[in-house]
Chains A and B, each alone.
Chain A
Amino acid sequence: MKNLSIIIIIFMASIITACNSDSNVVVVYTSVDQVFSEPVLKAFEKETGIKIKAIYDTEETKSTGVLNRLLAERNNTQCDVFWSGDPVRTIVLKNYDIIQPYNSEMAKGIDATFKDADAYWTGFSARARVLIYNKDILSRADVPQSIFDLVKEQYKGNVAIANPLFGTTTFHISAIFDALGDDRAKQFMMDLKTNEVIIATSNGDVKKRVMQGQVACGLTDTDDAYEAMKESDRVDIVFLDQGGIGSLIMPNTVNLMKNSPNAENGKKLIDYLLSKDTESRLAISCAQMPLHKGVETPQDITSLDNIKPMSIDYGKTANKLQEIQLYLKNWVENN
């Protein structure tokens, strides 16, 4: 018995590793794909000597795993900085009152459209919603030029969108509701259903289906689309509604968490993420469009100056999202 007790004690001691006594750390949670976000964070670590401890999101949890963890931890936050792939998740956190304002010097070069008026969050490096299409199935002339073309007979059963309950597709649909009004937007959704739109599990799944030729085209984000074009020359993209309501622009956002354990390091990380250098890195790695002027980008990346954006208020759109969630759930379940 005595020997057994000693073994158990040693065992338990070996399980519990010592808390990291590093004081020079910053804890960041990010919903931006790890393949893109990690190199930026490692660069910050190398340049500043501040150790990064990161939590990334997974394909399976569809960018909501990290957010739900932040909500669950809100009584004793472990996170300093939340780096989101879109403003919606950040606005959810703001509504839960678990973030604090921080007005970074680096935010000065960014248009007010892409920032919270009270500095709770700041946008940088934007993606856009695009149509990805398979060139073997659709010639350039046949490619839809507007989101409203997707309800036409010629594309019946040949268009894919990701589940509108999750990820950037939710944001896109909310923006459409905001832009068109509830009645017109619901009619559009009905027409999509009538036209047998295919609901994929994620933007990555949309990309894959188009690449494989399972569908002719689908809605996805620019980073997914550019990855698809790197993997296959059978696909291409179109920025929809350039002669109409415009394409949805989705900036990354970054914010400081309330009661963050390492607030000063958190501010340094935010400054770094909002820098032109980071925007340049993200432009090269995943075709994200800088919001600062004068940032060096690869030639094949479309500049924000050349895209007509949808005219939306991000805060209003995020709130709209909350209103239409139940409608979207019914739409998906009855599809």
Chain B
Amino acid sequence: MDSIKPINIKNGSNSLLGFNSLLFVIYGLFIIFIGLPIIYTFGTVLFENDLSNSFKLLNNATFSLLFKSLILASSVGIISTFFGTILGFLLYKTNLKLRSFYKIVLLIPLFISPYILAVAWKDFFFFLFGNSSLISSYFGVIMVLSLIFIPLAMLIIGSALSNIDSQIEESALMLVSFKKMVFSIILPLIKPALITSFVLIFIFSISEFSVPAFFGVKVFTTEIFTQFSAFYNHSLAIIQSTLLIAICIILLYAERKYIADAPFLSVGSKGTNNKLYDIINYRKLGQLFLIVWLFISIVLPFIILFAQSFKGGMDSFIRAYDLLLPTFVNSIFLAFMAAIISVFIGFIAAYFSIKRSKIYKSFEWFLLLVFAIPSTIYGISLIKFYNQPELSFIYSTSAIIIIGYVGKYTFISAKLISNAIKQIPNSIDEVSQIQGIPIFSRLTKILIPIILPTIFIAFIISFIFSLGELGTTIMLYPPGTEIMPIKVFTIMANAPQALISSMTLIVFSVTLLMISIFYFMLNPFIKKYHSIND
């Protein structure tokens, strides 16, 4: 009897009211700061234009191009998810040596602009074959984009794997073989992560412009860019981008329908205790796979980048460093702030879309809408809305850049965190509600510690993408502001290849350094708070 505490219903109701108010405010602010500009831009285009012009778009050529883009993006999504699953398993579920090293190093392709990687690979193919026709094709686009996004899949799937309750695995191993357990239990349990990985990479790929344009491959986004930049037809470019957005929404709807009621609860009441496997018979094969992967995805392109850099000697590096030095603090600060905000909003959106009524589920749809919009169109939307004398305190400052980043990448955080929350049984939350624990305490003392690794992953991904973002930033950065990716790409026009490659290597080094700092600073903290005590 002494152990039963009386429930303070009034306090519980007050804190829930407070939290609902917070949600309403956050949702409202997101709509105002990010949603309104997009609604305004799309609304004026659709209502100012004769809609018959829009229907003229729906010809065979448009659908053919869209179909090709769908195939391309699907291929990248499938390949990336497949190899990301293998890497995720090897690094998060086995006791192979140097796992921590590989976990960071294999992220490197995410740190480098797709355009620059495309240049490096094209030069490599030219070096190997004497011409680059093989890579200047759909094959080349799929190859380069897959190599870039496989680390993203690895992160997402690895995080889900490490959240599985070891008791489930141990129970299964008593009854079935390891191989059967992997295919019958582990893979189904991480299905949300597999699908999330595919969906995110699909959206990234279908919106990607620089790599197909560089390889001379016509895709839907190059068509949008052409309308925008060659014809200055912003209206038509915006109308075309609604097709892209519609596809992404259909994809997310299908995902929701498919996995909505499936049981993915894999976090036990005692939290998680990630089980690592000793793959005795496959240890060498596993190590070999990792080494080969490291070589193909990182060493090869870096050999090209280093070779190009050293053509200019140390002078290129020194000049590159001097050019980039003014950008470091500002770029890191903006990306860090944006990542924190993205994760915060993403968490709120994820939690309340799962736990609350349908109106809050619309928050996630809204995040997807913004995520799916091509970067340049998103930038134009923000310009049209914020470029008013009354809003110059936002438009003329770095705040506009943070708005750009947050809008672009909050969906990723929400998706990852949402999947992590779905793995936790409702009973954990219900029991703590019955105990009268206020919602704020339930979140900070129970839920967040369980999903802390996923929150960290969401932060890292948002940080990396914000740090390297170009398409929206180029439209928004206030005159005189120094930002790393902008600097690299503006200098790239007519600078010697040695200088460009040196700048790329320095940008990569800075990104890797920051990720490593975050990892080593936060990892002890995460390990400490991740497990729930009995």
Contacts and interface: CB of A to CB of B under 8 A. Distances in A.
Interface stretch (A53-61, A181-189, A265-273): A53-61
A65 B475 contact: yes
Given A64-B229, A76-B389, A78-B387, A71 B234 contact: yes
Most A CB contacts (10 A, CB to CB) among B340, B470, B479 go to B479
Most A CB contacts (10 A, CB to CB) among B389, B480, B493 go to B493
A16 B218 CA distance: 40
Contact of B494 (A18, A36, A214): A36
Nearest to B18: A1
Nearest to B438: A1
A201 interface: yes
A19 B393 contact: yes
A52 interface: yes
Contacts of B232: 67-68, 71, 92
B216 A201 contact: yes
B126 interface: yes
Interface in B190-237: 210, 213-214, 216, 218, 226, 228-232, 234
B226 A199 contact: no
A19 B392 contact: yes
Nearest to B394: A16
A27 interface: yes
B54 interface: no
Interface string B141-160: 00000000000000000000
B489 A59 contact: yes
B384 interface: yes
B437 interface: no
Given A15-B398, A53-B480, A60 B210 contact: yes
A319 interface: no
Nearest to B398: A17
A20 B393 CA distance: 10
A68 B229 contact: yes
Nearest to A65: B474
Contact of A69 (B230, B395, B475, B480): B475
Interface in B240-281: none
A231 B312 CA distance: 10
Contacts of B480: 20, 27, 51-54
A224 interface: yes
A6 B392 CA distance: 25
A15 B474 contact: no
Contact of A33 (B398, B474, B494, B496): B494
Contacts, number: 139
A73 interface: yes
A308 interface: no
Given A78-B396, A214-B132, A73 B383 contact: yes
B362 interface: no
B397 interface: yes
Nearest to A5: B22
A224 B497 CA distance: 13
B38 interface: no
Nearest to B401: A15
B304 to A, nearest CB: 13
Contact of B230 (A34, A59, A201, A325): A325
Contacts of A193: none
Contacts of B434: none
Interface string B395-427: 111110010000000000000000000000000
B11 interface: no
A16 B495 contact: no
B459 interface: no
Contacts of A170: 230
B8 interface: no
Contact of B397 (A16, A29, A65): A16
Nearest to A16: B399
A19 B397 contact: yes
A152 interface: no
B216 A333 contact: no
A331 B171 CA distance: 65
Contact of B229 (A56, A61, A223): A61
Given A19-B396, A329-B226, 5 more contacts: A20-B396, A35-B495, A61-B229, A68-B376, A73-B387
12 contacts: A11-B340, A16-B393, A27-B479, A51-B480, A53-B478, A59-B489, A61-B229, A72-B475, A73-B387, A224-B494, A231-B497, A325-B231
